[in-house]
């Protein structure tokens, strides 16, 4: 009998599993593919916590795998004497999010750990803010971010409001892996937890404190006031958590023409109007763009379900068409405005720094060079940007004015330690107001940036390979690229190869190798001629391998052509 079949039989026969779980197990009895995928491994509690399909099985998100993760976290907190400081808990609109969040709270309470749980769904960045505001030892957010509806997830934050990193993540993972018997997970009733003052509810007062912190980052309130009557904004939360707070902050900023996509305003874990609730996907904007055309909107904004990401479409007044801004374009637009305005007003801090991930645009480097801001690299994943900020604070070296990643996420300000789609929404509206007052659109603004810094364009290829066979194929693809380094990619010679797993960057021309200041990770990055680049890495949260690339052209058209050619060259490695 294969191992997955043994685990399946164990779940079927163990009295600890409830009747609804047993019924689900019965339904997969004759489906070997589903049974194997549900039990071929334990859902790994990794550096991003848990993420998986909701359902019965060791490789699924359910009350038992969530319970195991929470008990492991509780054990780690107790060893670090963090019981009294407590844990903040938030959740999104996905299936089982409410149930998983309450389950986590009560398991922590059963271990004598205080919890502070939101009264209803809230964005991930507000959870990060709340951990810091309440002085909690940890935080939990139940969300699968932008994944399809069948997924949910469980992310853990630490006392600085950032997702856990080494050595805390390894410590928690070790505690979770120590739990081999679901019967050892402690429980308590909600009534008893409340009576013992362990279970505490967070109300809308936290929303007000959070939004007030965001508004401190407004740079030109007079520009907002001037454009408040004329700027037309369309916004959609994509059935997620962002709607109420985004709508509120834009109203408080004074905008008079904010149009919410009604079909997507109500939180709904089925995401009925989108097949993939991700602002990176142009299809997610179908309803918003239809509304934009009706009301003649200047900008169209979307948050993902947990509102840590932001998507943007911008009207081009010359053609009347709406232009998609990718994550790099969004981050670079904000960076140019933020840095230039702070410098103009004389409020740029000493030793200013901008942090970007290693798969983000090289235009960020040019912006930093122009304004005298130090640029730092981080691995993909916003927790790595947060780790840089934490190090700056520890050694009093640099002041981070912004962190951004190409996957539609950025952080402005010091209120949180994760990407924040609500503050990004707020600032993009301010930037649109600033340029509208000058007879320009955000598309005009970025065209000016291309003229100033070069025509940088970026793209990526994602290959989805699900299940056990898919995971093995992804590892083989990485092994092939690592062991057979290319001399050129497309028409560009490879100048340097950065291997984040080995921790070195090799200069191909001189043969010199240097250590890199990045954590160990299965990532390869190639520096090419003409300020171009490519990178490849397996996703840490999805069954995908991702190929990234960026070029610099002399015109927008030549950059698009060069990018297309480089993408086709990289496709040969996806087969």
Confidence of residue 541 (pLDDT cuts 50, 70, 90): low
Q: Is the pLDDT of residue 289 over 80?
A: yes
Question: Domain spans of the chain?
Answer: 41-204, 456-571
Question: Average pLDDT, whole number, for the chain?
Answer: 95
81-91 pLDDT, tens digit per residue, is 999 999 999 99
The 151-158 sheet, strands edge to edge: 50-53, 151-158, 138-142, 87-91, 115-118, 199-202
Rounded mean pLDDT of 532-545?
88
Q: Would you state the pLDDT for residue 7?
A: 93
Global confidence as pTM: 0.94
Q: Would you state the pLDDT for residue 465?
A: 87
Q: Would you state the pLDDT for residue 287?
A: 98
Rounded mean pLDDT of 123-143?
98
427 closest CA partner among 253, 203, 243, 179? 253
SS3 content of the chain, % helix, strand, coil (to 5): 40, 20, 35
60-79 pLDDT, tens digit per residue, is 999 999 999 999 999 999 99
Q: Is the pLDDT of residue 197 over 70?
A: yes
Q: Would you state the pLDDT for residue 53?
A: 95
Burial 479-511 (b: 16+ CB within 10 A, else e): eebeeeebeebbebbbbbbbbbeebebbeeeee
Q: Would you state the pLDDT for residue 412?
A: 96
Is 145 noted as a catalytic residue in this protein? yes
- Output the DSSP codes for 471-517: HHHHHHHHHHHHHS--SEETTEEEEEEEETTTTEEEETTT--EEE-S
Residue of 117 and 544 predicted with greater confidence: 117
Strands 199-202 and 151-158: unpaired
What's the CA angle centered on 400, arms 395 and 403, to 5 degrees?
130
477-531 pLDDT, tens digit per residue, is 999 899 999 999 999 999 999 999 999 999 999 999 999 999 999 999 999 999 9
Distance between CA atoms of residues 548 and 160, nearest Å: 30
403 burial type by CB count under 10 A (0-12 exposed, 13-18 middle, 19+ buried): buried
Q: Which are the contacts of 319, defined by CB distance < 8 A and separation ≥ 6?
A: none
* 3-class DSSP assignment, residue 2: coil
**Fold agreement between 41-204 and 456-571:** no
Q: Which residues pair with 138 in a beta bridge?
A: 87, 158
Tell me the backbone φ, ψ of residue 90, rounded to 5 degrees.
Answer: -135, 165
Q: Is the pLDDT of residue 1 over 70?
A: no
CATH number of 456-571: 3.30.310
Q: Would you state the pLDDT for residue 566?
A: 96
- Percent of the chain residues past pLDDT 70, beyond the cut: 100
- Cα distance from N-terminal residue to C-terminal residue, the chain: 33
Task: Report whether 84 contacts 114 (CB < 8 A).
Answer: yes
Q: Is the pLDDT of residue 574 over 90?
A: no
428-447 pLDDT, tens digit per residue, is 999 999 999 999 999 999 99
214-247 pLDDT, tens digit per residue, is 999 999 999 999 999 999 999 999 999 999 999 9
Task: Report whether 313 contacts 267 (CB < 8 A).
Answer: no
Residue for token digits 């305005």?
341
CATH number of 41-204: 3.40.120.10
Catalytic residue of the set 93, 145, 360, 407? 145
Q: Which are the contacts of 420, defined by CB distance < 8 A and separation ≥ 6?
A: 123, 125, 128, 214, 308, 410, 411, 412
486-498 pLDDT, tens digit per residue, is 999 999 999 999 9
Task: Report whether 151 contacts 544 (CB < 8 A).
Answer: no
């Amino acid at each position: 009998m294969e191992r997955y079949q043994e685990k399946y039989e164990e779940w079927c026969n163990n009295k600890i599993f409830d009747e609804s779980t047993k019924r689900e197990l019965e339904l997969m009895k004759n489906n070997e593919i589903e049974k194997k995928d549900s039990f071929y491994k334990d859902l790994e509690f990794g550096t991003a916590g848990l993420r998986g399909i909701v359902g019965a099985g060791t490789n699924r998100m359910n009350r038992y795998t969530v319970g195991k993760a929470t008990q492991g976290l509780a054990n780690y907190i107790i060893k670090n004497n963090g019981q009294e400081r407590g844990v903040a808990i938030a959740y999104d609109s996905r299936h089982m999010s409410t149930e998983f969040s309450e389950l986590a709270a009560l398991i922590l309470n059963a271990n004598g750990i205080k919890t502070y749980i939101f009264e209803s769904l809230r964005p991930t960045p507000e959870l990060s803010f709340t951990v810091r505001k309440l002085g909690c030892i940890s935080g939990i957010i139940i969300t699968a971010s932008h994944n399809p509806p069948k997924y949910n997830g469980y992310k853990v934050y630490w006392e600085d409001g950032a997702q856990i990193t080494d050595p805390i993540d390894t410590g928690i993972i070790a505690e979770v892996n120590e739990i081999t018997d679901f019967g050892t997970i402690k429980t308590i009733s909600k009534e008893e937890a409340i009576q013992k003052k362990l279970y505490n509810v967070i109300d809308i007062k936290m929303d007000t404190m959070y939004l007030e912190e965001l508004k401190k980052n407004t740079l030109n309130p007079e520009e907002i006031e001037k454009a408040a009557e004329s700027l037309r904004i369309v916004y959609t939360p994509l059935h997620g958590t962002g709607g109420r707070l985004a709508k509120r902050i834009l109203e408080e900023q004074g905008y008079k023409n904010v149009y919410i996509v009604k079909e997507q305003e109500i939180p709904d874990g089925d995401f009925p109007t989108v097949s993939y609730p991700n602002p990176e996907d142009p299809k997610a904007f179908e309803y918003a763009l239809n509304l934009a055309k009706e009301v003649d909107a200047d900008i169209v904004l979307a948050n993902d379900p947990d509102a840590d990401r932001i998507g943007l479409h911008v009207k081009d007044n010359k053609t009347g068409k709406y232009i998609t801004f990718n994550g790099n374009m969004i981050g670079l637009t904000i960076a140019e405005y933020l840095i230039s305005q702070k410098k103009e007003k004389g409020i740029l801090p000493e030793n200013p720094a901008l942090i970007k991930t290693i798969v983000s645009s090289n235009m960020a480097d040019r912006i930093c060079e122009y304004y005298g801001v130090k640029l730092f690299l981080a691995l993909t994943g916003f927790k790595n940007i947060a780790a840089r900020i934490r190090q700056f604070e520890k050694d009093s070296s640099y002041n981070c004015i912004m962190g951004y990643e190409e996957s539609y996420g950025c952080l402005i300000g010091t209120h949180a330690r994760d990407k924040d789609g609500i503050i990004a929404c707020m600032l993009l509206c301010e930037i649109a107001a600033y340029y509208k007052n000058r007879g320009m659109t955000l598309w005009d603004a970025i065209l000016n940036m291309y003229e100033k810094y070069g025509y940088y364009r970026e793209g990526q290829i994602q290959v989805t390979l699900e299940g056990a066979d898919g995971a093995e194929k992804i590892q083989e693809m990485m092994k092939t690229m690592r062991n057979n380094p290319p001399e050129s990619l497309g028409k560009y010679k490879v100048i340097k190869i950065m291997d984040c797993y080995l921790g070195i960057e090799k200069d191909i021309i001189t043969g010199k190798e240097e250590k890199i200041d990045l954590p160990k990770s299965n990532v390869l990055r190639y520096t090419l001629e003409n300020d171009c680049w490519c990178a490849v890495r397996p996703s840490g949260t999805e069954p995908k391998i991702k190929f990234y690339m960026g070029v610099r052209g002399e015109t927008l058209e030549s950059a698009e052509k060069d990018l297309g050619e480089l993408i086709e060259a990289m496709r040969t490695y996806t087969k």
